[in-house]
Structure formats: structure tokens, C-alpha cells
Amino acid sequence: MIDSIRSSRSLIDVRQLGTVDYRVAWQQQRDLADARAAGGADTLLLLEHPAVYTAGRRTEPHERPADGTPVVDTDRGGKITWHGPGQLVGYPIIGLAEPLDVVNYVRRLEEALIKVCADLGLDTVRVPGRSGVWVPGTDGRPDRKVAAIGVRVSRATTLHGFALNCDCDLGAFNAIVPCGISDAGVTSLSAELRRPVSVDDIRTSVADAVCDALDGVLPVREHDSAARVASAM
């Protein structure tokens, strides 16, 4: 049985937008969310941003750039992160079915991105207690986040979403404590696979995987790093 998390059975309207200023995209999200709450279509925005730091509601002062670099404060969950060229950002504006299950919604986004990584040849996991998609630590290296997720749900409609690092400048994360996590690293598809992987290379596969995950065609599976360690013992 296919288990969709969406309240609508219509196809998701996928929009490939290129590069969009963060504040402009944020306003687009709000406009689309208003339309969705009034009975409009579910939408998935896929885009890149010019370089920008954005802070979720739980961001602490010490996690912001020490040099005073401007930060856009948002109403999403999570803490501070960076967006910029070489990173595919996805904003699903989705009407959720009742009863609302935001955790399950996040798990579906993770599942979609885990599949995209696997199709490229990169093994990724969930880390218990931490959202996003991770490359598990090995040989003394810490877990490394390749995709961040931060969402908000209002009027049963989702805003914000995910960011998957493709071939972005990882040095931009050095000025902050990414997502408020100081004991883990940040990585990209290109860095882990040791070959160029661009945003254009994965746009279509990400769109397909996200739509399949939200509609239940791609089921949520166990990918916890802790479970893998236990099964290997």
C-alpha cells in the first residue's frame, strides 16, 4: 500500500529556478504556502542561492560568524547554516495529510537524499538525534553532513526544506558552527566521491526522489549509523 504524506493526490509542481536571492525565495515560499493553504497545488522549488548565512530559531550567539558577517534570521527550525553556489536547495511547499507527522515528513526528505547519494555511489546514513544526511565517520574521522534539513509547518503546510552540498565551497562553513553541531564535519558529494558532481547533475534525480518519498513510492527505511554498527558486531 502506497502511503502518501500529502493531503492532495495531484502531482507536485516541480519548479527549477536557477539562482535566486534568499529573501526573494523566502517570499516565494510564503506566497506559495498561502496559495496552498487556500487549496492550491503542492510545489517543490529547486534552486541555488548566492552566498548567505541563515539562522533558524534555535541559533545561539556564539554560533554566528565571529567577524560580524550578516546573517538572515528565519522562522525555520534548526540553527545556523550556509547556502551558496554549488549547493542544491529544495523547498517543498506541501499540504500535509492529517494527522500531521512532521518527524515522518523530515524522514521522507532524508530518505530521498539518501537514495540520490546511493545512486551516485555514496553510502550515507541518519545519525540518531540529528536531522539531515550524513557520511559515517571512519578511520578517526567524524561524521560529516552532506545534506542539511530545516523545516517549518504552518496551517498544515510545509516551508523551508533541505540543502544538498554538491561542489560548493566548504570553507564557507568555517566561520560558523554549522547547525549548532561542533563535533561533526561538513562535506560535499564531490569531496566524498572524488569527482565533480554539480547541481545540474542531480536536479532531476532529487526532484524524482523527493516526490516519490512524499508520495510513499519510496518508503522510509532504516539507515541509522548506530544500527549499522550493531549489525556488524
Q: Which residues are annotated as a binding site for substrate?
A: 76-83, 148-150, 161-163
How far CA 8 is from CA of 4, 27, 41, 102, 110, in Å, comes to 9, 23, 8, 17, 21
Phi, psi for 21 (deg, rounded to 5): -55, 140
Q: Detail the residues annotated as belonging to a binding site.
A: 76-83, 148-150, 161-163
Residue 16: partners with Cβ closer than 8 Å, 6 or more residues away? 46, 47, 203, 207
Q: At what angle do helices 199-215 and 102-120 cross, to 10 degrees?
A: 140
> And the C-alpha cell for 214?
512524499
Angle (nearest 5°) at CA 44 between 131 and 210: 50
Contact 170, 187 (CB under 8 A): yes
Question: Which string of b and e fits 80-106 if b means at least 16 CB within 10 Å?
Answer: bbbbbebbbbbbbbbbbeeeeeeeebb
**Alpha carbons 201 and 207: distance in angstroms, whole number:** 12
Task: Kindly name the residue from 117, 166, 168, 179 that is annotated as catalytic.
Answer: 179
Annotated active-site residue 179? The verdict is: yes
**Comparing C-alpha atoms, which of 210, 70, 204, 215 is closest to residue 151?**
210
The catalytic site residues sit at 179
